[in-house]
Chains A and B, each alone.
Chain A
Amino acid sequence: MKLLVPVKRVVDYNVKVRVKADNTGVETANVKMSMNPFDEIAVEEAVRLKEKGVATEIIAVSCGPTAAQEQIRTALAMGADRGILVEHDGVLEPIAVAKLLKALIAKESPDLVVMGKQAIDDDMNATGQMLAALMGWPQGTFASKVEIADGSATVTREVDGGLETVKLKLPAVVTADLRLNEPRYASLPNIMKARKKPIETIKPADLGVDVTPRLTVLRVEEPAKRQAGARVASVQELVEKLRNEAKVI
């Protein structure tokens, strides 16, 4: 069984994100970049499936700049077998990534796509769902448990009301939630082995996909600073302020 695991290059979760001075986006120059944490969970799940003998090959894919090779290498060090970089500088919206992945699926014929439920940079939470729709495949999103048997995947999903279990006929798309597993940290021998694993680089045009953005970002701003609170001397004063200043009662 072949697995495809898309991984995204994002600003590291420890970095305090700053808005660019011209308000066109967030600052990524000289900022530490890492693999999207939900994608790490997806890679870990894929590697565990391989270790259990369920999967035979894991392909890590990243759509993004040349430097996204680093995130593919991280996936390879964790245990993926080979990588594909769909090289593109500039904005890639979820629909564009979903179309790129669809084109790769046509080439690679994986039985399962495991990916993060969302990326921590734009929190779109859309690519997995869009890919499933484009493919006409079943989807198991927000997975906290995945079991593969007899050509289907049983996925436990974290939904608002609790846990929902769905059974998907393969091929399918599964998106990983936080509690699916705890990703490993690659050891030095595996980091060294990863350097020797192949990464193929292709362009969106090679896949016949138009990745032109459909949306225009008008302006990016910091969240408003929280105003300091005020102390009141009595309940009466509080009610008075709520009524006349805050105008909430």
Chain B
Amino acid sequence: MNDGMPARAGEAEFAEYLENVRRLVDEVLIPAEPRLEGQETLPEDLTQRLREMGLFGISIPTRHGGLGLSMEQQVRVMLEVTRASSVFRARFSTTIGLGSQPILYNGSEAQRAEWLPRMASGEVTAAFCLTEPEAGSDAGGVRTTARREGSEYVLDGVKRYITNARQADVFIVMARTDLETRDASGISAFIVPAGTPGVSCGPADRKMGQDGSATSEVLFQGVRVPAENLIGGREGGGFKTAMRGINHARLHVAVTCAGQAERLIQETLFHARNRRQFGQALAEFQMVQGRLADMRAETLAARSMILETARAFDAAGEAQGPIIADIACCKLFASEMVGRVADHAVQIHGGAGYMRGTAVEQLFRDVRLFRIFEGASDIQRLLIARDMIKERNAR
């Protein structure tokens, strides 16, 4: 599978790869952005470019067919990829995060062998199903049930806002196995292939932004899966299983915000240097300069804290506990930051920034999502503060 390759690329090889990613972004992805408008999902030829670049496998080790990048390397790759529309990133985000990580860290060897190589190549798209009509921020509120019947589990329930649901070949589904419980302790994670009888998707959701990235409802009606499809080998471990994937996904959303902010700066600088008012370029006006400086300082702050936390993530290994709150800080700050940066960008663009067809208008709508999904800002604040109090109490 890995041709005897070393587990990880050296810095020189990685730098060469990063340069190729940069070129893909500038020469292929950004020019293709106008094609995304009104699309339900990413066109196949563009998805294929992402597969060829190995992007579906950045978080999967080389022994399972992925690129085996460290979190810091993943962050550096994603800072490039997310200068383009975040829709590109969305196409493989569910696979590299909550689709693959639970199987990688808690799955059986058989589950890894079955799914990870095909996820890494992008042949298989994975989607993660947690959110329900009455569960989301309240993750313990999951009502989807998984009843044990002989050698099988039978799943029933409805999941909502599931990214890449209609493109997915496999779902990682959070379902309640202990019907007596009302909290997270009774929830387990299952691998459910998309073709299993009883699995169906609703129509694509119509959203504020993110054209080209599909979300929809997923229905599970009497879906039977073998007991081996339980991840982690025992019931009730769903959130322990998902935690590493959730951390991964949150840090990746934070990176996405930093990448999008970088793009907003590029677009805005271009406009401010070319658009003239009162006989001079907008960039010559001090109040415009003030906004530009804030955009850069805030973006740098986010990028720095994300890279720092990514290094801590790599150093922490299995002991993720101490960095969960730091990851939440990154997700909180970066998503709020990109909202402010997008607002400056639209303001500096003036009328043009309010017009469809302008990059910043699209970005303004796209980045609004990041304060909501993968744990809304307010949930991140609760998580951070609770961690602070818990740590102080433990002294």
Contact = CB atoms under 8 A, between A and B. Distances in A.
B20 A186 contact: yes
Given A185-B23, A187-B53, A192-B9, 6 more contacts: A187-B52, A187-B54, A188-B67, A189-B2, A189-B3, A191-B9
Interface residues of A, number: 13
Interface string B193-237: 000000000000000000000000000000000000000000000
B13 A184 contact: no
Contacts of B53: 185, 187
Contacts of B14: 188
A192 B62 CA distance: 12
Interface string B1-42: 011011001000110110011011000000000000000000
Interface string A184-205: 1111110111010000000000
B5 A192 contact: yes
Interface string B345-386: 000000000000000000000000000000000000000000
A29 B272 CA distance: 32
Interface of B: 2-3, 5-6, 9, 13-14, 16-17, 20-21, 23-24, 52-54, 62, 67
Nearest to B17: A188
Given A77-B16, A195-B13, A188 B23 contact: no
B24 A188 contact: no
Nearest to A184: B52
B54 to A, nearest CB: 4
Interface in A50-105: 73-74, 77
Contacts of B17: 186-188, 191
A192 B20 CA distance: 13
Kindly name the residue among A188, A192, A195 whose own CB sees the greatest number of chain B CB atoms within 10 A.
A188
14 contacts: A73-B16, A77-B16, A184-B52, A186-B16, A188-B9, A189-B3, A189-B67, A191-B9, A191-B13, A191-B17, A192-B5, A192-B6, A193-B3, A193-B5
A9 to B, nearest CB: 15
